Amino acid sequence: MSGDTNFLEIKEKFKNGNLDEKIRIYTTTQGLTVDQFKELLRMFPIQHLDKLEKAMA
């Protein structure tokens, strides 16, 4: 259960973070499942996906 709790904390920080914080969390967080990454991606502002793509390159 601690993994779920940890993801909930990450998700809350992601939700409340500014664009740079969202990018940092998405690109530096390790140990998440594909579904968890997808869940974060659904909360990412779609108009800034290019910035996320550049950060991941």
Q: What ranges do the domains of the chain cover?
A: 2-56
For residue 49, CA distances in Å to 3, 23, 54 come to: 27, 10, 9
Which range, of 4-8, 40-44, 52-56, averages the lowest pLDDT? 4-8
At 5 the pLDDT is 72
Flag whether the pTM goes above 0.75. yes
List pLDDT tens digits, range 9-47: 999 999 999 999 999 999 999 999 999 999 999 999 999
Q: What is the pLDDT of residue 2?
A: 62
